[in-house]
């Protein structure tokens, strides 16, 4: 039964869905009821931590050799979720030990790195879903008068393959998907989900004891450092921050990092010169305006400014400045502005600098703090 809750994004009405954690808890409720009553329910219902009621049909139900199995199909609503449509199974059996024991089976990943929600070796079933699963199983026990213990094993056939489309391999979760969700609800186009992933990677890096961090919006930044032959005296963790540079800096400060180096393409990082800390074009695209303003201060004539404002890319802006003999002067000003706004965001909680490059022109420059950090890391 589809959820009839909607959010607005980009002027569109988008339907919400429910998380793998909600699916696992619902499947556990169905399997526990089948085990303890001998009858499989047609539907299962719960109220998510967000307070929304979710009722779904039981897709598969069976009982064999003292183990009951039920499945619920994941519905991500209008979100682009790799697990949408996946069947989440719960296998429930009686145990001699009290309480509800929870583990992962086929298609559920295992944690292999520190700093995640669960300890190394545990199934990648996060705290809130574990609580939801336990509460649903305990509720069935109370209703049926069963006072013994239960074992609940969550599985997701096909999860190993689907996990390759998620962040799990980078996070150190191997063998399958994660059972996730803090609200129990999937909100389409969730920016917060992306930010949470970045913060989690920073938490993992901090868990190793690192005090230094490299942030890069994407693969280009790390590739550039390697191509330039930069060698540091020790391995420094690298976190991809996408467009969320301000949030990544806030997270780095919260995790206790002392020094952060941001490495990125001029197409994104030029926006920092205007104090813009989310570089997605949906939020702001003032690349040409920033180039034009700094060029004007450096003495660019009207024709050059008009050409900059009409330029389709930052590389085109750089070419215009090169022809006008202003590229170095403008980049010096832009780098100073980038450094100012990065330090303003950090507010003294850490030292932060930036290295900016172009695919066409290579290294364009470093902020003063970046130059000092790289010297210290040699």
pLDDT at position 144 is 97
The pLDDT value recorded for residue 190 is 63
Residue 117: predicted pLDDT: 85
| CA-only gyration radius of the chain, Å | 26
Cα–Cα–Cα angle for 351, 352, 358, rounded to 5 degrees = 160
pLDDT of 336 over the 60 cut: yes
Confidence at 11, pLDDT banded by 50, 70, 90: low
Q: State residue 282's pLDDT score.
A: 72
Q: Which two tokens stand for residue 358?
A: 């172009």
Q: Higher confidence at residue 69 or residue 188? A: 69
Over residues 155-168, the pLDDT tens digits come to: 999 999 999 988 78
How far out from the chain centre does Cα 354 lie?
22
Q: What is the mean pLDDT of residues 128-152?
A: 97
Structure confidence at residue 234 (pLDDT) = 79
- Residue 137 is predicted with a pLDDT of 98
Nearest residue to 246 (alpha-carbon basis) of 281, 280, 207, 209? 280
Tell me the pLDDT tens digit for each residue of 219-250: 778 778 778 777 777 789 999 998 999 999 99
Using DSSP, how many helices (H) and how many strands (E) does the chain show? 13, 18
pLDDT tens for 49-93 read 999 999 999 999 999 999 999 999 999 998 878 999 999 999 999
pLDDT category of residue 189 using cuts at 50, 70 and 90: low
pLDDT above 80 (res 8): no
Q: pLDDT of 296-325, one tens digit each?
A: 999 999 999 999 998 878 988 999 999 999
What's the pLDDT at 338?
98
Cα–Cα distance list, 302 to 296, 297, 328, 330, 368 (Å): 8, 12, 19, 16, 31
Q: Is 291 left (phi over 0), alpha (psi -120 to 50) or beta?
A: alpha
pLDDT in tens, 236-291: 999 999 899 999 999 999 999 999 999 999 999 999 999 999 998 778 889 999 99
Residue 209's pLDDT band, with cuts at 50, 70 and 90, is: very high
pTM attached to this predicted model? 0.72
- pLDDT exceeds cutoff 80 at 172: yes
- pLDDT at residue number 116: 80
Eight-class DSSP state of 49: T
């Amino acid at each position: 039964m589809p959820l009839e809750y909607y959010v607005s994004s980009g002027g569109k009405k988008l339907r919400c869905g429910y998380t793998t954690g909600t699916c696992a808890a619902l499947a556990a409720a169905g399997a526990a009821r089948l085990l303890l009553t001998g009858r499989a329910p047609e539907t299962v219902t719960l109220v998510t931590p967000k307070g929304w009621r979710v009722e779904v049909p039981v897709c598969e139900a069976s009982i064999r050799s003292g183990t009951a199995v039920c499945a619920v199909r994941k519905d991500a609503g209008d979100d682009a979720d790799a697990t949408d449509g996946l069947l989440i199974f719960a296998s429930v059996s009686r145990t001699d030990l009290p309480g509800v024991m929870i583990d992962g089976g086929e298609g559920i990943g295992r944690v292999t790195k520190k700093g995640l929600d669960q300890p190394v070796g545990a199934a990648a079933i996060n705290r809130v879903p574990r609580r939801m699963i336990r509460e649903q199983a305990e509720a069935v026990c109370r209703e049926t008068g069963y006072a013994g213990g239960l074992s609940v094993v969550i599985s997701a056939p096909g999860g190993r393959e689907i996990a390759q489309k998620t962040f799990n391999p980078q996070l150190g979760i191997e063998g399958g998907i994660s059972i996730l969700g803090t609200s129990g609800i999937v909100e389409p186009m969730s920016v917060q989900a992306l930010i949470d992933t970045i913060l989690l990677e920073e938490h993992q890096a901090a868990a190793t004891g690192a005090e230094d961090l490299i942030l890069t919006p994407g693969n280009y930044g790390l590739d550039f450092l390697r191509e330039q032959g930069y060698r540091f005296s020790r391995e420094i963790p690298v976190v991809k921050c996408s467009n969320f540079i301000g949030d990544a800096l806030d997270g780095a400060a919260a995790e206790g990092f002392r020094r952060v180096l941001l490495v990125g393409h001029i197409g994104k990082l030029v926006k920092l010169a205007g104090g813009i800390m989310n570089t997605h074009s949906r939020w702001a695209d003032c690349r040409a305006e920033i180039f034009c303003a700094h060029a004007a201060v450096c003495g660019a004539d009207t024709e050059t400014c008009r050409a900059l404002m009409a330029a389709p890319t930052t590389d085109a802006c750089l070419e215009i400045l090169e022809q006008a003999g202003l590229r170095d002067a403008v980049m010096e000003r832009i780098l100073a502005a980038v450094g100012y706004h990065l330090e303003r965001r950090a507010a003294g909680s850490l030292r932060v600098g930036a290295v900016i490059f172009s695919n066409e022109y290579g290294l364009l420059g470093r902020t003063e703090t970046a130059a000092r950090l790289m010297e210290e890391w040699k």
